[in-house]
Structure 1
Amino acid sequence: MDAPTVNRLRGFDSFGIAVGSSPSFVLYRQGEFGRGRVVAVRSEVASKYDGEVAKYVGREGRGSVVDLEVRLALIAEKIAHHVDVLRFAAVCRIFRSIIHDNLHLLPPKLPLRLCVLPNKPPPLPLLMHCHDNEWENVSFFSISDGTNYGDFLLPEMRNKYLAGSGHGWLFTVDIQGRGIQLLDPLTRAQIPLPSLDAFQHPKGGFESHEFNDFGFIDKAIILSNPSSKRRNLDDDDGRMLAMSIISNLRVLSFCRVGDDEWTNVEDSLIHIQDVIRYKGQVYAIDYQGLAVVCDFAQIANSPYYVVNSHRYLVESTYGDLLQVVREINNRGDDDDYEDDEGNSTTYKFLVYKLEAVEKPVKPKEDPAYCMTVKKRVPMRHKFNFKWVKVKSLGDQALFLGKNNSLCVRASEYQGCKPNCIYFTEQEMYGHTSIARGFLEDVEVDSICDMGIYDFEEESFQDFSELKLRYFVPPIWISLDPRQRSPSSLFPQPHP
């Protein structure tokens, strides 16, 4: 480690926080530090220091573990940046436990873009067996200060890919073991969910091994906060934890707390593109823009249909349900919307708001359609809602991608642009092909389709700090500590 810059904390004579070329939390003894001997406690060697870290506390190095916990708790209260929270929690079990107990003291921050990186540079030969790569190195790009922070070692991400994120948790799928976990990157707590083998193949979908691997899940939505104490476990909806868009048919499947298998939604529409829990109901939208509500028959017809598009559902800061249409030129379809390197790009966003109508509206083409989680609901042939085009997002900013779609009030966050849409790559072109062995389908030089869309100017801005060429699409994750609270339902942070 390079000679560090030491930020001393008043009242702490024997240890502090040192930041070198690779920022990390460091414990040091004052005498040893004077001779340039620094004891670095980083995530790579965290296990070596569990139980020994107390040696470096106290004026004479004789501090106890209890003394350490008290002092570190005071440091934790002073941390003002969520990236520092990650560094702090990565040190060892003691640090992780302390930061877990002090998360409520931290201010809310913007979502971070979580970029999963291979252990080695990503030329094609190294990625041929990507299912053998250990993708536990992660970096974080912060909108607040435009800085890319990394690399962080997150062993729980080894051989995993991300199918979604929500409420500060990641939805991970094990490429080798086929297991599914919810992972909290701050505390490293994990919650097991039914595995890939616990899904029921929908009728009409492909069942060959080619379509039965981790790519079986197109997107996962975490419907409720896994850390919340407020979930009503006596109610089916309260127990519903996650919903997945599965199979080549893109139908819905869900699991509740305590389930051993995934349950497919009856009469599900096909080619679902997004799901959201909105005002106690589960809403979904298909590729044509037809909105449906599980267990609720009042729905809205498509406002606008584009073949090459992706749709998102997001709740605005004003409580409205928004549909966002992302128009994409698929790779190889048209050169007009390709960048200088031949990559397809997003070229337009449209936003609509769901509004009730005074008189039911007859559908223009297809009849009304409803799918249910619990029971069959008669279809209604008239719509009670309509989509109204939104001309401006105002002070709002949207965050779209594989994550639970997010909307924030931009003025409350440093560095956040109002009336803008922050978006990341939606598909996993190269990643899926490599894992399946279809190397000829991989575009080695492809760059993730991501950036900032100015809704008023109808213009795009790249993330100049990042130009990712990796096969795992980045994902937004909200690390708002207000969403976390210890719960007896789920395991506490483990070593």
Structure 2
Amino acid sequence: MAMNEWCTVIWRYIEYTMSQLLSRLSKLSSRNKTVLKHKNSRLLSTSPYLIVGVFAEDARARGGGFLGDILLFDPAKEELLTVRDKTVSEELICSKVMGASHGWGFFSDLRNHNSVRITDFFNPLASKSDSKIIPLPPLTSMIYGQTEVVWNVAMSSSSPYRQDNEEGDCVVAIKFLGNQLSMCRPGRDLAWTNKLIPFVGFENSNLMYSKRDQRFSLPAPGGNYLCSWDLHFENEPKFTELVFRNLPELPQSEWELMDSCFREDHWVESPSGQSFLVKWYSHVPPIRCKEPMVMVFREDQDTNEGTKTMSYTEDIGDLCIFLSKSEPFCVVASSFPGLKPNSIYLMGRCFAVYDITTKTSRHFERPKGVPESLTNFLPYWLPPFSI
């Protein structure tokens, strides 16, 4: 074989070898990126937290505002987490917390309650010196509504920024005390779309967003219907009948006791899309020695159009539910060591964790390190944060 033919053969062999090597390196790099991404998501994911409060200091922050410490309660470790030296901007100093959803705090101006903004101020992984603050359109009340007293808030996504949101425009919704529901898209809408809630009754249910159904849902008084709104604003609400089965066999005295209690109905969705209706009964006024009573109903798979069949259950598996004045949420307990599976974490008329199987609750003690001047905790559970 001539020398030039040998050179051609050797060159082709080198090309083939390099091609195979680069292919393997590419696959290995892709695999490592996936593993690294998975590890990072786990390393940079927090436990759910309860907002204990903000302890402000006298020190001024660079660029204006004051320095303060955010106090959060970690239910997995049952201890206080302090995020130190957080800049409290001038906008937030003159505001009060009115709600929380997906970890974002809703603030209203103390001088004008119709001036509302949302912020990642309570996110322990966010910037300490430059919290994201998004102003919302001024609130407007309907003829038979009011905007001064908020019941709870909900969001369709954890990212209100349009450019960061892979799920489309985020919609925020505010349920006020009474019959008014207001919705808008941050950074897009110049005004709120107001909806009249088509029923009256005592305030005993929280608004939530179903990622599976892509609708805001609100249990109607009595808990026999679920009222929901889509994200298009112009459509009328949808009513779905809740049909209950497998009710527990309880003595008549216990049913009468529950009838005498204050009841909250919470519609909750698990990370996998499983829906639950949680009925939380509490004594009025709250009595620490009296245990809260909770009933959980799971949505069955064989639900017909227009109805949802709800079965009583005492086993939700490796899940725990968080109920408070924020949007209710559910997490996988084993993903956060220390959380109790098959339990409900309560904040409002009591501060406790409720075991669904044993029907017993354990009240949390005041965390060590909370200043004595901080007497009341903010009643908002925050879902896990991650970056």
Query: Shorter-chain-normalised TM-score: which range?
Result: 0.5 to 0.7
Q: Distance in 2 between matches of 1:223 and 1:458?
A: 32
- Aligned 8 A contact 2:326 2:379 in 1: no
Structure 1 residue 481: Cα displacement: 1.9
**Structure 1 residues not aligned, in runs of 5+:** 1-102, 121-133, 332-336, 361-382, 427-448, 483-495
Equivalents in 2 of 1:411, 1:275: separation in Å? 27
Give, in whole Å, the separation in 1 of the partners of 2:179 and 2:316.
30
Whether 1:324 and 2:263 are equivalent positions in the alignment is no
Number of residue equivalences: 299
Superposition deviation, residue 245 in structure 1: 0.9
**Matched residue, 1:161:** 96
Aligned pair partner of 2:142 in 184, 193, 201:
201
Match of 1:458 in 2: 359
Q: Does 1:256 align with 2:190?
A: no
CA offset at residue 242 of structure 1? 0.8
1:221: which partner in 2? 154
Q: Greater Rg, structure 1 or structure 2?
A: 2
Deviations 1:298-337 (A, max 9, x none): 6123759956111112112332111111111122xxxxx6
Task: Give the Å deviation of 1:407.
Answer: 1.0
User: 2:155 touches 2:170 (CA, 8 Å); kept in 1?
Assistant: no
Find the aligned partners of 2:195 and 2:291 in 1 and give their Cα distance.
Answer: 31
Aligned to 1:406: 329
- Letter of the structure 1 residue corresponding to residue 154 of structure 2: I
In 1, the alpha carbon distance for the partners of 2:226 and 2:67 equals 36
1:136 to partner: Cα distance: 5.5
Instruction: State, as a whole percentage, how many aligned pairs show the same letter.
Output: 18
Task: State which of 337, 345, 348 in structure 2 corresponds to 1:422.
Answer: 345
Counterpart pick for 2:219 among 279, 285, 298: 285
> Which string of whole-angstrom CA distances, capped at 9 and with x for unpartnered residues, describes residues 154-203 of structure 1?
414424332322233212222234321111122311111123xx222342
Pairing partner for 1:111 from 48, 58, 77: 48
Q: Partners of 1:250 and 1:139 in 2: how far apart?
A: 34
Q: Aligned partners of 2:304 and 2:337: how far apart in 1?
A: 44
Q: Which amino acid is 1:393 matched to? A: I
Match for residue 29 of structure 2?
Answer: none
Tell me, yes or no, if structure 1 residue 339 matches structure 2 residue 240: no
User: What is the match of residue 22 of structure 2?
Assistant: none
8 Å contact kept, 1:140–1:148: yes
Residue from 302, 308, 311 that aligns with 2:265: 311
Equivalent pair of 1:252/1:272 in contact (CA under 8 Å): no
Quick check: 1:243 aligned with 2:173? Answer: yes
Structure 1 residues 354 and 346, CA, compared in 2 at 3 Å: closer, same or farther? same
Please state whether the residue corresponding to 2:190 is helix, strand or coil. coil
- Give distance in 1, aligned partners of 2:197 and 2:342: 37
Structure 2: which amino acid aligns with 1:252? L
Q: Could you say which residue in structure 1 is the equivalent of 2:383?
A: 478
Partner of 1:446: none
Please report the TM-score for the alignment, with normalisation by the length of structure 2.
0.67
Q: Is the contact between residue 138 and residue 154 of structure 1 (CA under 8 Å) also seen in structure 2? A: no
User: Which residue number in structure 2 is paired with residue 149 of structure 1?
Assistant: 81
Structure 2: distance between partners of 1:339 and 1:105: 37
Aligned residue for 2:334, secondary structure, equals helix
2:229 maps to 294
Q: What TM-score do you get using the length of structure 1 for normalisation?
A: 0.53
Aligned-pair RMSD on alpha carbons?
Answer: 3.3
Which of the two has greater strand per residue?
A: 2
Counterpart for residue 300 of structure 2: 355
